[in-house]
Amino acid sequence: MVKIRLRRIGTKGRPFYRVVVAESASGRNGSFVETLGTYDPVAQPKRLEINEERALYWLMEGAQPSETTAYLLNKLGILPKFLEQRPAQKKNYSFLDKRTAAISVAATTPTENA
């Protein structure tokens, strides 16, 4: 199986990632098929560059993005374009719609003791 995932190339304390297409059996920094872009979480604002055409190609070929990569693809609008063409795949990305418990729980106001 082919996966779209992050490959760390940054130094200690300063992460920098390449978004790559790799066999799922290869290690985090092991061999890969193609580089799709880069992600720099340290820069302000965070820099994210992904080749949209190639990412869509690999998604159509059946590549599965990791959870973090799926968030990045969603942020750039690549994943919604893929899901327009393949609506049956939407169930595989349900984790993108979840909210944290802190957000979903209604805020309660303290009651006054009379």
pLDDT in tens, 15-27: 999 999 998 888 7
pLDDT in tens, 47-101: 999 999 999 999 999 899 999 999 999 999 999 999 899 888 888 888 887 665 5
pTM of the model: 0.77
Say yes or no to pLDDT of 114 above 60: no
Domain ranges of the chain: 2-97
Take residue 41 and report the two structure tokens written for it.
């979480």
The CATH class of the 2-97 domain is alpha beta
Measured distance CA(8)–CA(10) in Å, rounded: 6
The confidence score (pLDDT) of residue 16 equals: 93
Take residue 44 and report the two structure tokens written for it.
């302000």
Measured distance CA(6)–CA(71) in Å, rounded: 12
